[in-house]
Chain A
């Protein structure tokens, strides 16, 4: 039983990270209908930014400073790749993100070299012991950072002034512009936010396993999570992230010994099964149709 609980909590902690990254991805998809294939590289950039800052700063400060830089990076991507293609077919933008992904792969290798980098120092140790249940420090930090951030994001989108504007722009840019809503600024903000959220994921994962191209693969987890949640539901991404994290963790604990390699496939198997029953994902928005 305690083994199960241990796996469960570890899964939720990883899931919170997945959720955070997926929420940024979903936000961009909602606001612009762009599937950002460079999301893995956003993680990578976050990781390398943290590593670079960490060369001169203690780790916690490096992570904090990474956020505004990653936000600026997101704005830059929006300016450079998304806005020039505004009004074109959305597929053009999606292809551009694939190009961006490849360019960033190369650029980061040129700048930082192909070898694995490790961060100096660590976050304050916060190991939590509840009876037999022992939460490693990294899980505690994931939960502590990702969960409140994710919940705050859901709340802000639902209730805050900016949240309403983001949803308005997401539904129809023309209608938003006609109501004097500064749509381009909102879209830029969304990209910045998405990059910052990915960077949080990148930085936390980097603390765990170092910085290197393997972070891109971690970024790919965003896709099953987002699809499971329903692609355009930020709250759905949060729940789906947890679900995938837990499934992965349980699969690693129980199934991996029987079927080696199954853990990599587990999230996608779940997606496949869920989509068979619910084609819009768990929380995908349904078209409003009035007859």
Chain B
């Protein structure tokens, strides 16, 4: 089980990005973390991946538990040891390496024969990558890069997979396809998936539970059906619901969530 308890994160010692976030993810569960720009979504991903130090950030308070292990301050390689892989925003593939080299780099901990088998499996799952396996990853399209980074993440053998904004910059049809693949992966491998997204409509289609972040805090938490019924979530994250834009603005000004 992944548990985040009252997590507070600051950048450069002064900018408070997460202000007491608490959430839990059970093994094999799919959870969406939604929220607008600047809500702290990416910060949460970096914290889970143990990568805050690379962004001049640090955990001020609270803790992150993975099973029995506390990984809050354990450095960048600790989450990996406990089976958590964080895919950062913007599809950070190695652009100067070929597709094959990217996969080999990600799977470096596997024994040679296993690695070859697993790579073949990834390539079978994403045939586009197989076609372009000897090309530099920097020349792939956005969707292909997203598939590559997911394939790389799989080769790290996660039990918990955290993905930050996979839909960013992709055409809607690609997003739907990508999310279906994610869901399929999650089911087949029994992964726990934490999908961090702005594209709430697409994300809701494939998850069991939802957290909504705003200004570094959790402002909504519930099952998917509840989220889809909740008027606030509907209005602010799905752009639907009873209130029009003007009323939504007024609602926002009341700052009920702050």
* Residues of B contacting A181 in the complex (Cβ-Cβ under 8 angstroms): 105-106, 108
B97 CB-CB contact with A under 8 Å: yes
* Residues of A contacting B49 in the complex (Cβ-Cβ under 8 angstroms): 177-178
B39 CB-CB contact with A under 8 Å: no
A181 shortest CB reach to chain B, Å: 6
B77–A179 CB distance below 8 A: no
* Residues of A contacting B136 in the complex (Cβ-Cβ under 8 angstroms): 288
B53 CB-CB contact with A under 8 Å: yes
B54, B80, B108: the one within 8 Å of A87 (CB): B54
Interface size, chain B (Cβ < 8 Å): 33
| Binary flags per residue of B80-94, CB closer than 8 Å to A gives 1, else 0 | 100001111000111
* Residues of B contacting A182 in the complex (Cβ-Cβ under 8 angstroms): 77
* Residues of B contacting A173 in the complex (Cβ-Cβ under 8 angstroms): 54
Q: Give the residue name and chain of the A residue nearest to B98 (CB).
A: A164
A87, A164, A285: the one within 8 Å of B101 (CB): A164
**When chains A and B are docked, how far (Å) is the Cα of A70 from the Cα of B232?**
64
B97–A180 CB distance below 8 A: no
B56–A180 CB distance below 8 A: no
B88–A168 CB distance below 8 A: no
Q: A150-193: which residues lie under 8 A (CB-CB) from chain B?
A: 161, 164-165, 167-168, 171-183
**When chains A and B are docked, how far (Å) is the Cα of A178 from the Cα of B105?**
11
B64 shortest CB reach to chain A, Å: 16
B85–A161 CB distance below 8 A: no
B86–A178 CB distance below 8 A: yes
B85, B93, B104, B139: the one within 8 Å of A180 (CB): B85
Given contacts A175-B92, A180-B80, A288-B96, contact A164 B54 (CB under 8 A): no
B92–A178 CB distance below 8 A: yes
B167 CB-CB contact with A under 8 Å: no
Chain A positions within 8 Å of B, measured between CB atoms, are 87, 161, 164-165, 167-168, 171-183, 285, 288, 290
Chain B positions within 8 Å of A, measured between CB atoms, are 49-51, 53-56, 76-77, 80, 85-88, 92-97, 101-102, 104-106, 108-109, 136, 138-139, 152-153, 156
Q: Identify 7 residue pairs between A and B in the complex whose beta-carbon atoms are under 8 Å apart, listed by A's number.
A: A87-B54, A168-B97, A174-B92, A177-B51, A177-B76, A183-B76, A288-B136
Closest CB pairs A-B (n = 4): A288-B138, A180-B80, A175-B92, A177-B76
Q: A174-B92, A179-B152, A179-B153 known; 19 other A-B pairs, CB under 8 Å?
A: A87-B53, A164-B101, A164-B104, A164-B108, A165-B105, A167-B97, A168-B97, A168-B105, A171-B95, A171-B96, A174-B55, A178-B49, A178-B51, A179-B106, A180-B80, A180-B108, A180-B109, A180-B156, A290-B139
